[in-house]
Structure 1
Amino acid sequence: MRYYIFLLFNLFLLSFFGCKGQPEYAFLPQNLKLDLTPFLFRNYTPLELATLSNSDYNQNQSGLITGTKLSRFLSNWGTNKPNYVNGNLIVFQIQSSGASGRYVFFDAKQSFAYPISNINDLLSETRDDGVLSIDGVVGKGKKISDFFAIYGIDPAIDYVVFAQDTSNLANLSSATFAYYSLLYWGFPKERLAVLNGSIADLTASNTIFTTPSYNYANSNRAGTTKTLFRDHTSLQLTIGDLIHSIKNGNTAFEEVDPIPAEGFFIIDGRPNSAFTGTTNSTASGSKYTNCTTKTNSSFVTNTCVTTYEGKVKSAANLVPTDLYDGTSFQFKVLSQLETYLRNINYPEGKLIYLYGEEGQRTSVVWFVLHQILGKPTRFYEAGWKQFGALGLRSPSSGSSPSAITQPASYWRTDISSLAESITTNADANVPNYQLDFARQFVKSANKIRNEDKAFLRGSSSAGGSGGGGGPTGGGGNACGG
């Protein structure tokens, strides 16, 4: 046993002192083909992954960057890139609908740019947390690895920017969700950015140089998050973690994170009308037509509304439209964002639990809290779409039962200890599916994080329960990042 400890110690020293000046992918244990994954992984906390922006956004090297900064990067990436970056610059020009007809100029040697219309599809999928499947959640490890392969990204060394093509909320939320997706899967925050403003507007103001034509080019390389030895899954807040905290630990749940010693503060990132329960936050009109009878089905966006409207117990409302300009879709200045957070009485230092309608739209609020204001934040991606679906209703004659049929179900949320402003939706508009008895009394909602931890470590098991805590496992990549 002593021999193996001695060998591991010496390999660590060699890798640490022998990698000076080498890119992260040249990490010694990988070169030696040694599987030291269990010893090298580090769990990062939400606080460690947070980024406090400079009050002058032009000074940011990552996180939220300006058109001036991106223009400087594109003009000569080799000279102007941050000194801690060894790889290429990759820019995604997000076109959710329509297109500006202008394209970022890149050299196809050290910088690459891609117009992309389906980035949400490439990075998200329907996932089952053990209680109720929800669509639009950050995809599994293979989906993210496929994304890297398609666009020639090596996450160990490259720098990625997500930019709106034209200014609209769909493009902005796609950019922030893409940022969250890569950060969740271990991509270092120092090499991720969201552009403040759109390519179209910044071109019109002569801030960045673009061209009217696009020629595809690819670096023809790719990497995987597994080589980073970083576990960022603490960013995800499960419904089990949320309920366990609200109930002050008085649950029968398993695989839940401890209630944070510093306390927690719940933020609802929906429009105020949804927060107060006066309007539904999930679907409307003809979109109800797909509410067919199902068992243990997925709650899919824009097919049905939730069982009831309202808000999570004790949540404060940070209205998303306050955070950005409604024309340019640029984020407001740092001092304004700080004021909005202060106005909802956030106690400095507490861990934020954030939820909204669902992950993609609410990622804009997450980005402000975590990557501009630098507040430790965990993100309940499933949001009200899941929480509000898990109610017990008494359907009228001929209607299908609700998702929850057992009043004592562990996952029933339409009770005063868990929700406020409860407003029941009409039977005809509610998902006509139910959870089977076993699901209504399952003790863990940690299936997604367990799957993701297993993928990162290349194993079939989760490698431990829970989603975070302090740094463990011997640190991250010995060469930094």
Structure 2
Amino acid sequence: MDGGFWMNKQMNGGWAGAAVLSLMLGLQGCGGGGGEDTSQTTNLLLSTPVSVNTPQDMANEHLAESHDDYNDNLSGLITASTLKRWKDDWVNQRPAHITGKLVILQVTPGGTVAGVPAAYIKPDNTNVFTYLTNSGEWTETRDNGVTVTVTMVASGAKMDESLNKYNIDPTKDMIVLAPGAGTNANPMNTGRIWYAMRYWGIDTRHLAQFNGANYWEETPGVSGNGLLAADFSAAASPAPATPGKFTVKYLRVDNTQMLATMADMKTIAPTTDVNDKTDGIFIWDARNLGQYSAGEKAERGDSTAKTNCGPLRTPTNDVAVLASSAYCDANNVADYKWTFQNNGSRQGHPNGTLQLQYTNMLEPKKGYGFKPKAELQAYLDGGTDIWGYGFVGSSQQNSYGILGPTNAYQSGDVIYAYCETTVRAMVTGFAAAAILGKPVRFYDGAMTEWNSLSYALADNGQYILPSDSPWRSEANSFLRWASDFVGFVAADVKPRTISNAYGTPNKITLDDQAYKGVVSSGNGGGGGGGGSAPTNPCGG
């Protein structure tokens, strides 16, 4: 059965508020941003009630789930045939609900592939614009109330700045996020932008990711997605002569529950490192198995000097991959420094987490686009693919074995996605939310935060957290300390900026709700983001 659907959701603010918002946006005129605003229109917009969405609300939003055939999608994940139809005749081919322009944001140039120059999807610079952006324009280093963490969702002010830099009005325009070149990394970066835009309330119908690279060939000399040299240009669109005047305050929905806080993670992590299939929670580690297991187990693509699993898939090495093992033992379990990243005090994962690396969502031979919907769903159902990959449990759960059918995602589970900085997890989270239509939250602080907040010495001679801080996460974790690996030196653990060891880690969501004028209950998640400290000062 095709999973694409249209579900009209009556939000907390009611249809009256939505109607006022639609009317006021209409008064600003068509064309997609940059128009003159009036104080009367602005005041009416900002007086519209804000609807607070849960993860399930967001999963049920308009067209939040993909059609089985990606060619049928008009948002979420779109294909080259859809984008070509749009860019070649935007005024006549744009979706009925779009009144503005087509804005394509590429995160890298597409380069020249097999002799075909494919730098930028060709704009006409009248109705269709292609700009080069980067995920750094949509992320920010922010204080969560306990610690300062890198690569967090951008603040409202920064979102306004980036939207207006490209003269985007997300209530009128169609925004397409394109990887450009075919790599594992680029869907992470388009995913970070998608997450920021959804978090700040951009409607699913105005937002899409382009599936795969600008140009790729599976058969030599034949375009894999149908785009040809004439569909590309050597240069991106010039910067808009007049920046936009939009603010995310106009988006009268609160999607801040997409962000899971440190408090949320401590609340949902069980006391033992076993996934509970009945608790409605599915914690997904998008990192490699070496990082998840802190070097107790490994998978293809992990350190070639420390393991013998075989290579990570590329567009040309399928034979070598099939001849190797998907998973293997590390050469020396005591030598696990190679699994550390960002100089944390320990490696491991929150209790109850399951692992499937983000690379399994992508097909290298097809420009690193997303695999078919049925294959992605099969992973969540506990299946194993032809390469031997599937969801893996912890050492305590099943000795890092494949979970098997019915033992992974359970219907109705809320997925908590993370990696090291929740960049890789943008691939898994996008697949789960925008393709499969599951309720998803992102632990944006991720393991950079989690594996640092410990009563552990950094190389400045100071403990990262005091012994009585309620935000120590050791008790909620499978962990192996940096100080125990072979070759440890003090410089391997760096200090963190701790703003308040006894605070509550919901400052980001509270600040973002305040930016929109949301009346919050004080928990920082619009009713779902936890902020209060657990009673046990060491976790639990």
- Relative to the length of structure 1, the TM-score reads 0.78
Matches of 1:272 and 1:14, distance apart in 2? 49
Q: Secondary structure at the match of 2:212?
A: strand
Identify the match of residue 356 of structure 1 among 389, 414, 419: 419
Structure 1 spans left out of the alignment, 5+ residues: 1-7, 249-260, 285-301, 471-481
Does the residue aligned with 2:362 lie in a helix, a strand or coil?
coil
Offset of 1:215 from its aligned partner? 5.0
From 525, 530, 540, the counterpart of 1:467: 525
Residues 78-123 of structure 1, C-alpha deviations (whole Å, 9 max, x = no match): 111111111111001221797765322222222111133xx12211
Q: 1:463 to 1:160 in 2, by over 3 A?
A: farther
Residue aligning to 1:478:
none
1:9-20 paired onto structure 2 within 5 Å: 15=20
Change over 3 Å in CA distance of 1:39–1:313 after alignment to 2: same
- Partner residue in 1 for 2:477: 419
**1:388 CA displacement:** 0.4
Local SS of the residue matching 2:123: coil
CA contact (8 A) 2:414 2:441 kept: yes
Within 2, Cα distance between the matches of 1:402 and 1:31?
A: 53
Equivalent residue, structure 1, for 2:440: 377
Aligned residue for 1:92, secondary structure, equals: strand
Cα separation, 2, equivalents of 1:94 and 1:36: 32
Work out whether residues 63 and 194 of structure 1, in 8 Å CA contact, stay in contact via their aligned partners in 2.
yes
Q: Is the 8 A contact 1:109 1:219 kept in 2?
A: no
Secondary structure at 1:405 match in 2: coil
Equivalent residue number for residue 248 of structure 2? 225
**Residue of structure 1 aligned with 2:349, choices 299, 303, 311:** 311
- 1:216 equivalenced with 2:238 (yes/no): yes
Q: 1:87 aligns to what? A: 100
Q: CA RMSD in A?
A: 3.5
Deviations 1:238-263 (A, max 9, x none): 00111123369xxxxxxxxxxxx973
Q: Kindly provide the CA deviation profile for residues 270-303 of structure 1, in whole angstroms up to 9, marking residues without a partner as x.
A: 111111111899xx9xxxxxxxxxxxxxxxxx98
Aligned residues: 420
Map 1:75-224 → 2, pairs under 5 A: 75-95=88-108, 102-116=119-133, 119-201=134-216, 204-205=223-224, 206-207=226-227, 209-216=231-238, 218=240, 220=242, 221-224=244-247
CA-CA distance at 1:314 after TM superposition: 0.8
Q: Does 1:40 align with 2:53?
A: no
Do the aligned residues in 2 keep the contact of 1:186 with 1:225 (CA within 8 Å)? yes
Q: Name the SS of the counterpart of 1:409 in structure 2.
A: coil
Q: Distance in 2 between matches of 1:169 and 1:67?
A: 19
Specify the code of the residue in structure 1 equivalent to 2:186: N
Which sections of structure 2, spanning at least 5 residues, go unmatched? 1-12, 272-277, 304-339, 383-390, 392-407, 529-540
Alignment partner, residue 72 of structure 1: 85
Tell me what 1:400 maps to.
461
Aligned to 1:449: 509
Distance of 1:130 and 1:94 partners within structure 2? 31
Q: Which residue identity is paired with 2:49? A: L
CA displacement, residues 20-41 of structure 1 (integer Å, 9 cap, x when unaligned): 9876999x99755545735511
Q: Which residue of 1 aligns with 2:267?
A: 244
CA contact (8 A) 1:306 1:388 kept: yes
Judged with a 3 Å threshold, the aligned counterparts in structure 2 of structure 1 residues 90 and 410 are, in CA distance, closer, same or farther, namely: same
Seen in structure 2, the aligned counterparts of structure 1 residues 394 and 226 have a Cα distance that, compared at 3 Å, is closer
1:273 aligned onto 2:290: yes
8 A Cα contact 1:95 1:166, kept in partner: yes
Give the equivalent residue in structure 1 for 2:490: 428
Q: Which runs of structure 2 are paired with 1:254-333 in the superposition (5 Å)?
A: 263-278=280-295, 304-327=342-365, 328-333=367-372
- Equivalent residue letter for 2:345: T
Partner of residue 339 from structure 1, selected from 378, 388, 391 = 378
Mapped to 2, the partners of 1:96 and 1:212 lie a distance apart of 9
**Partner SS, residue 359 of structure 1:** coil
Asked if residue 49 in structure 1 is aligned to residue 58 in structure 2, the reply is: yes
Separation in 2, partners of 1:112, 1:17 = 25
Q: Which amino acid aligns with 2:516?
A: L
The reply to whether residue 367 of structure 1 matches residue 430 of structure 2 is yes
Secondary structure of the corresponding residue to residue 364 of structure 2: coil
Q: SS of 1:401's equivalent?
A: coil
Could you tell me how far apart the structure 1 residues matched to 2:95 and 2:41 are?
A: 29
Letter in 2 for 1:227: Y
Cα distance in 1 between the residues matched to 2:477 and 2:144: 21
Kept in 2: contact 1:402–1:432 (CA 8 A)? no
- Counterpart of 1:255? none
| Alpha-carbon distance in 2 for matches of 1:193, 1:176 | 10
Contact 2:282 2:353 in 1 (8 A): yes
Distance of 2:104 and 2:22 partners within structure 1: 33
**Given the superposition, is the C-alpha separation of residues 467 and 214 from structure 1 closer, same or farther in structure 2, using an over 3 Å criterion?**
closer
CA contact (8 A) 1:102 1:200 kept: no
Q: CA deviation at 1:441?
A: 2.5
> 3-state SS of the aligned residue for 1:166?
coil
Does 1 or 2 have the higher relative contact order (CA < 8 Å, sep 6+)? 1
Distance in structure 2 (CA, Å) of the matches to 1:274 and 1:80: 46
Deviation for aligned residue 1:391? 2.1
Q: What CA deviation, in whole Å up to 9, does each residue of 1:376-409 have, x standing for no partner?
A: 01110110110001122367xx862331231x32
**1:400-436 Cα shifts (integer Å, max 9, x gaps):** 2331231x32111122xx1114343435244342676
Contact in 2 for aligned 1:89/1:160 (Cα 8 Å): yes
1-side partners of 2:435 and 2:75: how far apart? 10
Residue 62 of structure 1, aligned match among 62, 70, 75: 75
* TM-score normalized with structure 2 length: 0.70
For the 8 Å contact 1:399–1:427, the answer to whether it is kept is no
Q: How many Å apart are 1:214 and its aligned residue?
A: 4.5
Equivalent AA in structure 2 for residue 433 of structure 1: P
Shift of 1:15: 3.8
* Aligned residue type for 1:466: G
- Matched position secondary structure for 2:381: helix
What secondary structure, in the 3-state scheme, does the structure 2 residue paired with 1:393 have? Answer: coil
Q: Deviations over 1:43-87 (max 9, x none)?
A: 122222232111101011101111111111101111111111111
